[in-house]
Amino acid sequence: MTGINDNLVEARGLTFQFGSRVIFDGIDLDLQRGKVTAIMGPSGTGKTTLLRLIGGQIRPTAGTIHVDGQEVPRLSRRDLFELRKRMGMLFQSGALLTDLSVFDNVAFPLREHTGLPETMVRDLVLMKLEAVGLRGAQRLMPSELSGGMARRVALARAIALDPMMIMYDEPFTGQDPISMGVLVKLIRDLNEVLGLTSIIVSHDVAEASQIADYIYVLSQGIVVGQGTPAELHDSDSEWVRQFMQGTPDGPVPFHYPAEDYAAELLSREDGR
Amino acid sequence: MNAFQQLGHNALTMFQRLGRANLFLLAVLAGVPSLVMRLRLLIQQLYSVGVLSLVIIVVAGFFVGMVLGLQGYNILVDFGSEQSLGMMVALSLVRELGPVFSALLFAGRAGSALTAEIGLMKATEQLSGMEMMAVDPLKRVVAPRFVAGVLSMPLLAAIFSAVGVMGGYFVGVGLLGVDEGAFWSQMRSNVDFHDDIMNGVIKSVVFGTVVTWIAVFEGYDAVPTSEGVSRATTRTVIYSSLAVLGLNFILTALMFGEE
């Protein structure tokens, strides 16, 4: 069933519980090869957890996840590591190794996994850094980089082993408009040029809609909407419309559930 | 009833952590052989764990030795046996104070640094990032630090004892006028290589293993926030100090209890 069709990642009935909290309740996802798919939803819907499930860092409570035809939760550690060499992941913080320079960070996966001679490692690192426009920053330490630069270096590191897919965890959060523009362009371009499959987890509607081919909207553990950005923008679902258009009140109320306002104000003295 | 529940809960949590710590140690030990391929990492860690602890060990050793010389002289001189000062200083250092003191200092200097470093790597997703790059952080990060700690500790304890003897010599012979020949010859004839020095080395190997184990585990198991890392660092110092003192009593009883 899997492997023959065009989906690089397939989840069926994916359920994940953390303690007694249900994070995902039987979701189905199909992420097509060569496309940019965005997973969106309000904060705290477990979007990052989804990436960890795909990367095999945690196991689902129930359901299956296939990546490139392999069932991730059932893989042995060795096979999982083999699979991960073909997956890149861009963490929100960049997750650069703070004791290594920019150059050594990008060289890290190459040195760990390929055994290539150092001259070739150098050429590859320079090519990857050139692709993200930071060849000039190769000697800097991670502490000397701005947030946007750190993410670009992390991106260069993620593509160092020429993976088949890249997962982006909130790539746009906390970026100034220029870095944001750079990242949007980079993600789209890399996807085209390297023939990658990209998964973006984000709650930045505008940016994600700009580059995604397909969007899943998650809330409270289920898929509440899916489709192309245009389809979702005019969704029938009031909830999805509220999320995509960012209106403050709607199916998701502005107020956190509370007792009656007037009653609480009047009861102030008894409450003490 | 609630206090009872709390007690049970705490006990369960403690045993869970203990179990995790043991599994963690096994996993780290399994990663140790692969260090042969990464000697550079080990050397880096030997430097930051061992060499950087040298200053505090040398300074503390000298002061402890000087105090031993002073107090030893004051006690021994009443019995007219101040010539035995060298033996007394050397035995106290080699058997007890060298391994224990240097392990306590090691816990404060290197142990807390290891916990903070690994904890911060966890908090900043560096460990997760490595895993996603198919690199096992237990092998790449923890194993070299663990081995460096285990190897450094006996050396640091030996240096502590040696410097301490110099401190005792400085005060006893240099300032208080104990006969130099008696100082050294009493030491040579009464300190036994096997019974005293080797037992001291065994102690420091045990302490080094336990302190480093606690330090790397606390870092790896830390709650990945700044508060969690600071708590883990504190716990490292407390647990490893208590473990060293407790184990020292047991080891001393086993080694010297029958004499």
What pLDDT score does B259 carry? Answer: 57
**Mean pLDDT lowest among A225-229, B13-17, B184-188:** A225-229
SS3 call for A94: coil
Region B121-133: what's the mean pLDDT?
A: 90
pLDDT in tens, A214-257: 999 888 888 888 888 888 877 777 778 778 777 777 777 777 77
What pLDDT score does A269 carry? Answer: 61
**Mean pLDDT lowest among A11-20, A130-139, A238-247, B150-159:** A238-247
Highest mean pLDDT among A192-206, B119-133, B234-248: B234-248
CB B161, CB B98: distance < 8 Å: yes
Please report residues of B whose CB lies closer than 8 A to that of A92.
125
In B, minimum Cα distance to A51 occurs at B132
pLDDT at residue B159 tops 90: yes
pLDDT in tens, A86-117: 888 888 888 899 889 999 999 999 988 888 89
Region A195-224: what's the mean pLDDT?
A: 87
**Mean pLDDT lowest among A118-122, A170-174, A248-252, B31-35:** A248-252
pLDDT in tens, B57-110: 999 999 999 999 999 999 999 998 888 999 999 999 999 999 999 999 999 999
Closest partner residue to B132 (CB to CB) among A55, A82, A98 is A55
Cβ of A81 within 8 Å of Cβ of B129? The answer is no
Please report residues of B whose CB lies closer than 8 A to that of A93.
124-125
What pLDDT score does A194 carry? Answer: 86
In A, minimum Cα distance to B125 occurs at A95
Percent of chain A beyond pLDDT 90? 15
pLDDT at residue A40 tops 70: yes
**DSSP for B78-110?**
HTT-GGGHHHHHHHIIIIIIHHHHHHHHHIIII
Cβ of B129 within 8 Å of Cβ of A91? The answer is yes
| CB neighbour class for B259 (10 Å; exposed up to 12, middle 13-18, buried from 19) | exposed
A236 backbone dihedrals φ, ψ, rounded to 5°: -70, -30
What pLDDT score does A270 carry? Answer: 55
Beta-ladder partners of A222: A219
What pLDDT score does A266 carry? Answer: 84
Region B119-136: what's the mean pLDDT?
A: 90
Report the gap between the CA of A232 and the closest CA in chain B (Å): 32
Report the gap between the CA of B235 and the closest CA in chain A (Å): 24
Please report which confidence band the pLDDT of residue A133 belongs to, taking 50, 70 and 90 as the band edges. Answer: confident
What is the ipTM metric for this complex? Answer: 0.79
What pLDDT score does A259 carry? Answer: 83
Distance CA A186, CA B40 (A): 35
Please report which confidence band the pLDDT of residue B201 belongs to, taking 50, 70 and 90 as the band edges. Answer: very high
Higher pLDDT, A233 or A161: A161
Arithmetic mean of pLDDT over chain A: 85
In B, minimum Cα distance to A95 occurs at B126
Please report which confidence band the pLDDT of residue A1 belongs to, taking 50, 70 and 90 as the band edges. Answer: very low
Closest partner residue to B125 (CB to CB) among A87, A91, A109 is A91
Residue A5 CB neighbours (<10 A) = 12
Distance CA A149, CA A142 (A): 9
Cβ of A112 within 8 Å of Cβ of B133? The answer is yes
| CB neighbour class for A122 (10 Å; exposed up to 12, middle 13-18, buried from 19) | middle
Q: B37 and chain A: CB distance < 8 Å anywhere?
A: no
Closest partner residue to A95 (CB to CB) among B129, B136, B140 is B129
CB A143, CB A66: distance < 8 Å: no
Please report which confidence band the pLDDT of residue A19 belongs to, taking 50, 70 and 90 as the band edges. Answer: confident
In the sheet with A21-32, reading across from the earlier edge strand, the strands are: A21-32, A7-18, A62-67, A70-71
Please report which confidence band the pLDDT of residue B203 belongs to, taking 50, 70 and 90 as the band edges. Answer: very high
pLDDT at residue A173 tops 90: no
In the sheet with A197-202, reading across from the earlier edge strand, the strands are: A87-90, A165-169, A197-202, A36-40, A214-219, A222-227
Closest partner residue to A84 (CB to CB) among B126, B133, B140 is B133
In B, minimum Cα distance to A157 occurs at B133
What pLDDT score does A2 carry? Answer: 43
In B, minimum Cα distance to A52 occurs at B132
Report the gap between the CA of A90 and the closest CA in chain B (Å): 8
Q: Is the dihedral of CA B63, B69, B75, B77 positive or negative?
A: negative
Side-chain-facing half-sphere of A201: CA atoms under 13 Å: 23
Please report which confidence band the pLDDT of residue B111 belongs to, taking 50, 70 and 90 as the band edges. Answer: very high
Cβ-Cβ contacts under 8 Å between A and B: the total is 48
CB A218, CB A49: distance < 8 Å: no
pLDDT in tens, A59-73: 888 888 999 888 888
**Mean pLDDT lowest among A43-52, B154-163, B234-243:** A43-52
